[in-house]
Amino acid sequence: MRDPAWFSFLAALLLPFLLLPDVARGDDAGPDGPGAEYRTHAEVASRLKAIRELAWGRGLFAEVVTYGTSAGGRSLLALRLGRSTPTVLVHGGLGARDAASSAACVALAERLARGGAPLAQLSWLLLPAPNPDALDAFLAGRPPAGGGAFDRDRDGRRGEDGPQDVNGDGEILEMRRVDARGPWAPGEDARLLEEQGVDARRPVSYVVLPEGLDDDGDGDVAEDMPALDLTRQLAGFRDDKGPWRGDGPFPGYAPEARALMELSFAETGLVAWYGYTGTGSHVLRASEQGKSADADDALYGLLGAAVEERTGLGVQKASAVRGGEKNPGSDLDWACVHLGVPAFRIPVWFLDEEERKGEKGKVAGELDWLLWNDRVLEGKGFVAWTPFQHPTLGKVEIGGWLRFTRWEPPTDLLPAAVAKVVDGPLAQVGFVPRLAADVRVGPRGGGRWLVTARAANPGGLATDSAVAAKQRLDVRVRVRFVKAAGAEILAGPEVANAGRLEAGGVAAEPARWLVRLEKPGTLGTLRVEHPKTDDHVVEVKTP
């Protein structure tokens, strides 16, 4: 005799794999709406509301939520898409010049709202502009903003001496000054400088500074930035002695960083963290300090391969790219260590190949970017070093990369740049935990029935990561049995602990209840629960 409960169990195991082909065929493919474009915070807010209405029109759940306020008084906005419990957080630009990554996050939101297929397994929490003050300042060509000011030079004033346009050309670039004690020397191309250390024997050495003045009269130029680096404001580790080495006096000092930390920590169903960033050579995975993420190397291998397929970029561990240098503040480490989820950072702007040699797979350097600028932009993206008489430094030269060249794509190249990587977070589809249970009912005589349930995870992701278990952030899978009317539980736990379930895993021990029901019928309801995925509910009946 076929057991209906057993067939239901098999169906639950196979469901995620039956859903995957729709995504692989591209049913979630590109939006029909506007292409990626640079948007101010107000324009991003307007676009999120339009995407919400687009989703509503397709019968999808969507809402725009305000999760905080920036240092400059702007609303911090997030778009929720989908009703499923497993949730992926995707953010746009955290940095001072991350406008392209905000555009990528908006483009992903449009793609999800129009396609819908990935919403069958996942919900999405999208934050295109988590640093809105910085976004608006960058697009307007103003000095860096975001995070609030901090008294870096300990003179009792905060953010009073930052970069500014001292020569009046409408751009804030860099200054270089000849100094035998300077660590910078001319590179292979005279327009570029390379940091080579102090060497008095060099024909010429430079000190490089942000374009600015000595506004506070302390002899230093642009040393008290009126902004914080939010990527270094998120708390990764606090294992170093002495003051906080991230940006600001302590982690979470910036209201934007604190709001993001609180939002993500409260998201109990979070299964992954993705961030777009302006430029880079690889997709970076956690962690940036130490080896904390190594416990999930197997997961990163599988998930990283899916991200590579979606973006065409190689995936590397962030600490390896940093050359072993520790980064005490990091959004990747915040997600890995404090949320217990896999975390990736996806660059929007990169050269497909080494411009100088035309070799595939090589990481483009500054010279490659400069040659690209000469070929594609006719040299207009880099301002030649121009003499300027600085009021306190004397003879300097001002020059460097314009906005929308080296660090952010030109406006006309933005849609193509975003299109290459926008699908990166969709790699998470198929890598979600799922709950199921093999439920069996056997007679024990006298109207008594033994209910045996073994919880399982037929999904492609463990109910909690290995890092979460190591950090004691994991939550055990719980199995509950609720009796039906007329039934009586004679023995069995109120809540059974099924432990942490690996992808495709089954609980080591079954849960059992002895239930009395005088006549055959419904014994009750079995519920398998975990905060990172939807509950699995089974109506339990006598055979």
- What does the pLDDT read at residue 9? 42
**Positions in the chain whose pLDDT score sits under 70:** 1-35, 238-241, 322-326, 353-363
Give residue-wise pLDDT tens across range 464-477.
999 999 888 889 99
Structure tokens at 66: 């305000």
Give the model's pLDDT for residue 73: 97
For the chain, the domains span 39-138+230-350+409-428, 160-223+358-401, 436-541
Cβ(526)–Cβ(435) under 8 Å?
Answer: no
Cα–Cα distance for residue pair 126/133, rounded to 1 Å:
18
As a whole number of Å, the CA-based R_g of the chain is 28
Q: What is the pLDDT of residue 322?
A: 64
Report the phi/psi class of residue 390: left, alpha or beta, with left for phi > 0 and alpha for psi in -120 to 50: beta
Q: What are phi and psi of 513, to 5 degrees?
A: -135, 140
DSSP labels, 430-455 = T-----EEEEEEEEEETTEEEEEEEE
Q: Identify the bridge partners of residue 284 per DSSP, sorted by sequence position.
A: 316, 345
Position 257 scores a pLDDT of 96
| Residue 221: per-residue pLDDT | 83
What's the confidence (pLDDT) of residue 29?
A: 37
For residue 384, report the phi and psi dihedrals to the nearest 5 degrees: -60, 145
- Strands (DSSP E) found in 82-136: 87-91, 123-127
- CATH label, 436-541, candidates 3.40.190.10, 2.60.40.10, 3.30.980.10, 3.30.1360.150: 2.60.40.10
The pLDDT, as a whole number, for residue 359 is 60
Contact 341, 273 (CB under 8 A): yes
- Hey, what are 388's tokens? 């300027």
B/e letters for 393-425, b = 16+ CB within 10 Å, e = fewer, are beebbbbbbbbbbbbbbbeebbbebbebbbbbb
**pTM (2 d.p.):** 0.90
Domain 39-138+230-350+409-428: CATH architecture, name and number where available = 3-Layer(aba) Sandwich (3.40)
Q: Of the candidates 232, 235, 228, 210, which has an alpha carbon nearest to the alpha carbon of residue 220?
A: 210
| Predicted pLDDT of residue 354 | 66
